[in-house]
A and B are shown apart, each in its own frame.
Chain A
Amino acid sequence: MKGDGGIQLVINTRGSYLKKKNNCFLVKNDDKVFEVSEKKVESILITTSATITTDAIKFAVENNIDIVFLDKFGDPYGRVWHSKLGSTTYIRRRQLEISDEPEGFKLAKGWVIQKVENQVQLLKDLKKNRPEQKEELEAYISDIEDLKTQLEELEGTLEGKRNSIMGLEGMASRHYFEALNFLMPDDWKFNGRSRNPAQDGFNCLLNYGYGVLYSKVEKACIIAGLDPYVGFNHTDNYNKKSLVFDLIEMYRVYADRTVFNLFSRKQVKESFFDEIPKGMTLNREGKAVLITAVNETFEKSITYYGRNIKIGNIIQFDCHRIANNLIKK
């Protein structure tokens, strides 16, 4: 992983061309050119149709800069990254072993509890500045906290309790999004979660934000030596990166908070969205606003086990902790 402080280069203009020139990346389209040293770039995000040379890909791989491709919903559909394992295979072996032991259950349950705690925390933060909606919010919060208590009381192994965990998590999320919808400005109220395609502006931004987050979680897993495909709460038979789905739950709140703030600060415009059959997508203007806001959130500092780190680095720290705990005797 590159040290922090680099630029995220986002290729967001259709038809842009990315190549390597000397020790720089050079991006150009019909009327603009931008040249930037490899030293300054942390990652490259491609959100639209573009052309890249294999030289540029090789240059990025050699310098540990990952290239992520996002589809129109924000879901990463691929990435270019060197083909080495991030760490020892022993971590992956332990990951498989532990998944049906009580220890694995504890770990996986912990992630869901963390997610629910984050949801409660966001609602509590929102409550502070909204004295008029205080009572309704408290009702939502106490509903979610009840579910959290039920989660904490679960014991056993994943085999037997997976459905209970997922069920409680789902219920907590329903209350949580109802609460967020309750606080949304009138013009932007939404009707539950929707994806592929989103039915409203809120879901549109949120899905895209989750996509960006997903790609960060996947990268952190690879670097820490965790196998993205071996999940705990999400079973393997999805043929999906189940561990990424498991872990992303703890970080969704950062996308939620970012998106919610964009709405409450009136920074979202109708012009961010394009109508598509059966729903809507985020266009170039909307992507730029969202990705900027998400990156700003990641730059903020937070206390993590007694030290100050950037929110954006939590994911990597957590993954390393998980990996270290797996191989610890």
Chain B
Amino acid sequence: MNKKANQKKKANQKKANPEELKLLVWVIYDITENRPRQKVSDCCKSYGLYRVQKSVFLGDLNANERDSLAVECEELVDTDRDSVYVFPMDEQSFKKVQLIGQAFDKELVSDEVITKFF
């Protein structure tokens, strides 16, 4: 393919999906009351995040999903006492993550699994 076509292709890719760009996101919280805590964890699950510890969720989200997840969580918790953190992480850093002891399924959370048997 010639150079011009390549450039055009690149430009298209960039233009096509600024919002579609998914990043791995850690959601970490500390919530006093049971009910809002349950609601936040349900919310994380419904966004397709996977639970990797009791109050830690992880998964792939695009910019829109990250924002709306944060807004929903804000409405659920008592912002004077509770905390919810939404940390995006790039792929390079995720590769360097070290897992000690009970590890989560790295391929599953980064959407590399295409078939899940149960």
Contact = CB atoms under 8 A, between A and B. Distances in A.
Nearest to A298: B114
A7 B118 contact: no
Contact of B117 (A12, A23, A36, A299): A12
Interface in A30-52: 32, 34-40
Interface SS, A side: mixed
A292 B42 CA distance: 30
B66 to A, nearest CB: 14
B7 interface: no
A5 B110 CA distance: 11
Interface residues of A, number: 28
A165 interface: no
A32 B117 CA distance: 12
A11 B48 contact: no
Contacts, number: 56
Interface string A51-95: 000000000000000000000000000000000000000000000
B46 A37 contact: yes
A71 B47 CA distance: 33
Interface residues of B, number: 14
A39 B46 CA distance: 8
Contact of A295 (B42, B45, B48, B114): B114
A166 interface: no
A37 B108 CA distance: 12
A23 B46 contact: yes
B113 A7 contact: yes
Contact of A11 (B47, B49, B118): B118
Contacts of A9: 116, 118
Nearest to B49: A37
A223 to B, nearest CB: 20
20 contacts: A5-B111, A7-B114, A8-B114, A9-B116, A10-B117, A12-B117, A12-B118, A22-B46, A24-B45, A27-B118, A32-B118, A34-B116, A35-B51, A37-B45, A37-B46, A37-B47, A40-B48, A291-B115, A295-B114, A295-B115
Interface of A: 5, 7-13, 16, 22-24, 27, 29, 32, 34-40, 288, 291-292, 295-296, 299
